[in-house]
Amino acid sequence: MPRERTAYKELRKSSKRHYKNISTRSDLKTSIKNFENLVKAKKADEAKKALSILVSKLDKAASKGVIKNNTAARKISRLMRKLSPQTKA
C-alpha cells in the first residue's frame, strides 16, 4: 500500500480511470455489435448513421488513450469495408 498522501490520491485517480476505460471499451464493443447486426440485416441507411456515431466514439477513445490510434484506425477501416458492398448495390 502507498505511504504518502499523493500516492493514495494517485491510486484513487488510477482506479477511476480504470473503470472509466472499461466502461468506454464495453460501449465500443456494444456499438460495433449493433452496427454489424444492422449490416447483416441489410439496413444500409441505419448502418450509415450508426457508423458515423461509431467512428466518432472510436476517435474519441483513441484521443483519450483508451485504445491506441492505430487500433482505432484499423477498426474504422474494417467497419467501412463491411458497409461498402451494401452502399454500392
Digit-coded pLDDT (tens) for 6-45: 999 999 999 999 999 999 999 999 999 999 999 999 999 9
Q: What is the pLDDT of residues 65-82, one digit of tens each?
A: 999 999 999 999 999 999
Spatial distance between the Cα atoms of 47 and 67, rounded to a whole number of angstroms: 23
Its pTM stands at: 0.86
Q: How far is CA 81 from CA 12, 28, 77, in A?
A: 41, 18, 6
Instruction: Select 5-88's CATH number: 1.20.58.110, 3.40.50.2300, 3.40.50.300, 3.30.420.240.
Output: 1.20.58.110
Closest residue by Cα to residue 47 from 86, 77, 88, 11:
86
